[in-house]
Amino acid sequence: MTGYIEDITFLNEKAIKFGNETLEAILVPVLGSNLLSFKFKQNDIELLRTPKTLEDYREVPILYGMPILFPPNRIEGGQFTYKQITYKFPINEIEKSNHIHGLLYDKPWQVIKREVNGEKIVITTEFLSSDFPFLKRYFPHDFTINMTFSLNDNALDVQLEIINNGQEPFPWGVGYHTIFNFPFVPSSKLMDCRISLPVNKQWELNDRSLPTGKIQATPNTMEIQNGFSIEGRQFDDIFGYDEDLENECVLTDQEAGLQVCYHGDDHFKFWVLFNQKGFVCPEPYTWVTNAPNLDLSAELTGLRELGPGERVRLKTKLSLKQI
């Protein structure tokens, strides 16, 4: 069976359904270029938390699909200064006086490429900051971000490209707030499911969910690396790694007979783990929460700079394995 791309309506918006013999996904460009459905077709298993209605999505858009975070997680007081430029983001976590989740996850993106080559499907969406002049009050730079989704066999590769179109360098950090249904099927018990993370460090957080700057060894490191149950445990924690580990989060549901591997390239040095009833959110980040405000080296925080005319490409992959 060759791959396919279809134009559909999803949540009353124009969307793209694409798939092959194994997998099917729904991408909604106008809703933050969000992959709002990712399905294992053989057993009709929906892997991502998918909204039933547009109203559900609008209520908490960050809790569905795979929202892009630019910048990721929280900014203390909504602002930081970098090379004499002060960046002021809206305070949207009122109770903690933080900015959270960045500027792009709910903005419309444009489709600039779509092609089927046998079983391989490639779709690219683009965000131009110049189309949204009001963003300059928060992030005073001209930039382009492209997302390329490549579906082939049992895997979805996602490449993110950030381009600095301006005359000044800018600091950047990015992540994904990927929300998996977990367990994958209703008949499974959470206590029998496992998640592993490639981490060995944990960042201490204060009461505003911001890093204090203190980093400690991860409790039960081998358990986290080999797989553990989140039954009865609540996470909203930041982890990192500083050893030669395969940068891959693995989610296993034995009852469903399915394992999902979530791989990040070397740019993604941090993982946030967040969960609530019915879902888990392993979040790969290039910088740690509130990185520009931490009095620590860029090597520790992941803070990076993109010069004028420069571009950077980041890669993640979701692959499925039957067990």
CA–CA separation, 87 and 138 (whole Å): 6
**What does DSSP say about strands 68-69 and 248-253: parallel, antiparallel, or unpaired?**
unpaired
With 0-12 / 13-18 / 19 or more C-beta atoms within 10 angstroms meaning exposed / middle / buried, residue 162 is: buried
With 0-12 / 13-18 / 19 or more C-beta atoms within 10 angstroms meaning exposed / middle / buried, residue 6 is: exposed
Q: What share of the chain is helix, strand, coil (3-state, %, to 5)?
A: 10, 50, 40
Q: What single DSSP character describes residue 95?
A: G
Q: Nearest-CA neighbor of 167 among 31, 72, 309, 13?
A: 309
**Active-site residue flag, 99:** no
CA–CA separation, 21 and 268 (whole Å): 30
Contact 237, 272 (CB under 8 A): yes
**What does DSSP say about strands 193-196 and 23-28: parallel, antiparallel, or unpaired?**
unpaired
**Active-site residue flag, 141:** no
What type of residue is 118? Answer: G
DSSP string spanning 182-226?
SSSSTTS-GGGEEEE----EEEEE-TTS-EEEEEEEPTTHHHHHH
Catalytic residue among 99, 101, 177, 267: 177
Catalytic residue among 24, 76, 126, 283: 283
Supply 17's token pair: 């359904």
Supply 38's token pair: 């990712």
Contact 307, 164 (CB under 8 A): yes
Contact 310, 164 (CB under 8 A): yes
Q: What single DSSP character describes residue 79?
A: E
Question: What residues act catalytically?
Answer: 177, 283
